[in-house]
Amino acid sequence: MVMISVRSMVCVLGFLLLLGCSDKAKELFETAAFEENQGNIPHAKELYEELVRSHPSSKEAELARAHLADLK
């Protein structure tokens, strides 16, 4: 009985961490896009690259890859 409860808690914690990752990926993408729009291309590239490294399977990483390709 206790084992089921622990497993449930681990699953919930994992799910919440994934949600947090998504928010961080979105935040990184928005910051990078802002920097790009402001003309700070080197910093935008750094942020897009960080996003791709830290959240490679997120939809934001896919968008970041496209922006990086356009900026090269």
Q: Can you give the pTM of this predicted structure?
A: 0.71
Chain centroid to CA 50: 8
In this model, does residue 15 exceed pLDDT 90? Answer: no
Q: How does DSSP assign 30-61, residue by residue?
A: HHHHHHHHTT-HHHHHHHHHHHHHH-TTSHHH
In this model, does residue 11 exceed pLDDT 50? Answer: no
d(C-alpha 69, C-alpha 15), whole Å: 32
Greater confidence (22 vs 30) lies with 30
Average pLDDT for 32-36 = 94
pLDDT score for 6:
57
Greater confidence (12 vs 32) lies with 32
